[in-house]
């Protein structure tokens, strides 16, 4: 599966409120670019945790990366490594690697 196929997945469940469907409609056209950006970032910095990736990219909101990595993992584009101490938070976290 490629990054463009990911956009075909439903972003809101039928049982989600109307606000979730509105947000999904707004973000859908941008998701392929966001996922491609997250994958590119990981390729530049393999073996980093989501927080470390955000720090490397100068992003304050870890959700921008943290939400995309599991999506990319489901499609076989990235994999999780064994948990280790994050260099930013000092907490155990999983590093990510491109496949």
Judged by DSSP in three states, 89 sits in coil
Angle between helix 50-57 and helix 18-44 axes, rounded to 10 deg:
80
For the chain, which residues make up each domain, given as ranges?
Answer: 17-98
Which of 2, 77, 64, 75 lies closest to 32, judged by CA? 2
pLDDT at 23: 78
Query: Is pTM beyond 0.85 here?
Result: no
Say which CATH class 17-98 falls into.
Answer: mainly alpha
* CA gap 31, 73 in Å, rounded: 15
Digit-coded pLDDT (tens) for 15-53? 988 888 787 787 777 788 889 999 999 999 999 999 999
pLDDT at 55: 95
Neighbours of 24 (CB within 10 A): 15
Digit-coded pLDDT (tens) for 11-21? 778 898 888 87
């Amino acid at each position: 599966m490629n990054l463009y196929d990911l956009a075909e997945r439903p972003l809101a469940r039928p049982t989600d409120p109307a606000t979730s469907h509105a947000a999904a409609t707004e973000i859908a056209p941008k998701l392929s670019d966001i996922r491609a950006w997250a994958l590119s970032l990981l390729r530049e910095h393999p073996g980093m945790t989501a927080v470390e990736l955000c720090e490397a990219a100068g992003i304050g909101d870890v959700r921008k990366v943290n939400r995309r990595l599991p999506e990319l993992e489901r499609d076989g584009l990235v994999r999780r490594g064994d948990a280790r101490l994050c260099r930013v938070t000092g907490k155990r976290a999983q590093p990510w690697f491109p496949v």
